[in-house]
Structure 1
C-alpha cells in the first residue's frame, strides 16, 4: 500500500487538510478582524483540499479495481 504513489499522495493531501483545519480553528480564537478574514480564507482552502482528497480517494479505489 505504501508503495502505491496514489496512496502516498492521498495521505499527504489528507494530512494537509487536517493541518489547514487546525490553523483555521486556531485563528477563530484570536478574535481580531484580520484573524477572521484569514480563518475564512483557510476554510475555503480546506474545502478545495478536501475536494482534491475525495477525487484522489476515487482514483485510488478505481486503480485498485473497486475491491
Structure 2
C-alpha cells in the first residue's frame, strides 16, 4: 500500500480516537452525577455502560492506528 493511502487512514483513526475519548468523558461526567442519587446495588447505569462502550471504541481505533503505523514503517524499509 502506498503512504498516500495509509496516512489518511491514520488521521481518520486518530480523529475517531479523539471523538470516542470526548464521548467517554462526557458519559463519565454524567454517570458520576447520576451515581450520587442512585442505589449502588441497582447495577451499572446507562451512562456507565455508554462509558465502557466508548472506552472499548477508543481502544479499537488506537489499535487500528498502531497497526497502520507499523505497516507504514515496514513498507518504508
TM-score range for the pair, normalised by the shorter chain length = 0.7 to 0.9
Structure number with larger C-alpha Rg: 2
User: Structure 1 residue 64 and structure 2 residue 76: aligned?
Assistant: yes
User: RMSD of aligned C-alpha atoms?
Assistant: 1.3
Q: Which runs of 5+ in 1 are unaligned?
A: none
Equivalent residue for 2:53?
41
- Of structures 1 and 2, the one with the larger relative CO (CA 8 A, separation 6+) is 2
- The size of the alignment, in residue pairs, is 63
Q: Which runs of 5+ in 2 are unaligned?
A: 35-44
Q: Distance in 2 between matches of 1:44 and 1:63?
A: 29
Shift of 1:22: 0.8
Q: TM-score with structure 1 length normalisation?
A: 0.84
Q: Distance in 1 between matches of 2:12 and 2:60?
A: 14
Equivalent residue for 1:13?
13
